[in-house]
């Protein structure tokens, strides 16, 4: 079974620029999550999708962050404009469902550095 694919692996941008990350979940996984992991901290949920609908985006800074999951498969996370404090690893994860516990599978992440 192929894992969760993310690209790019690394990105360096200047503050106020925009950036986009891409995620391809495991085939058949209905639920997709974006997490932000700042250095030295645990992952923090940004947004959860069930198919192509948003389940929870309460911790997504909507003034600069946006995410979509067209056709319920791939997802993109965008930051515009980026700030220095957005430097982090952005992790995508997917799972079979959202109700009873289903194991998450994480991708390797995209490391963003904002300078």
Interface positions with other proteins (CB under 8 A): 4, 31, 33, 40-45, 48, 50, 55-56, 91, 93, 95, 97-99, 101-109
**Least Å from the CB of residue 3 to other proteins:** 8
**Least Å from the CB of residue 103 to other proteins:** 5
State phi, psi for 70 to the nearest 5 degrees: -70, 140
Q: Which is nearer to other proteins, 20 or 45 (CB)?
A: 45
Whether the CB-CB separation of 25 and 50 falls below 8 Å is answered with no
Q: Which is nearer to other proteins, 24 or 31 (CB)?
A: 31
Of residues 89, 55, 90, the one with CA closest to residue 72:
55
**Least Å from the CB of residue 52 to other proteins:** 16
Q: Which is nearer to other proteins, 18 or 54 (CB)?
A: 54
**Least Å from the CB of residue 42 to other proteins:** 3
Q: Which is nearer to other proteins, 24 or 48 (CB)?
A: 48
State phi, psi for 25 to the nearest 5 degrees: -75, 175
DSSP string covering 45-67, please? EEEEEETTEEEE-TTS-TTTEEE
Whether the CB-CB separation of 28 and 51 falls below 8 Å is answered with no
């Amino acid at each position: 079974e192929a894992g969760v694919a993310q690209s790019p692996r690394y990105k360096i941008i200047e503050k106020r620029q925009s950036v986009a990350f891409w995620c391809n979940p495991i085939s058949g996984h209905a639920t997709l999550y974006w997490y932000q992991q700042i250095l030295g901290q645990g992952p923090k949920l940004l947004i959860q999708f069930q198919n192509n609908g948003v389940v929870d985006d309460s911790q997504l800074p909507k003034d600069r962050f946006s995410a979509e999951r067209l056709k319920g498969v791939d997802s993109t996370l965008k930051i515009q404009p980026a700030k220095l404090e957005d430097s982090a690893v952005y992790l995508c994860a997917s799972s079979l469902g959202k109700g009873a516990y289903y194991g998450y599978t994480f991708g390797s992440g995209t490391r963003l550095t904002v300078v």
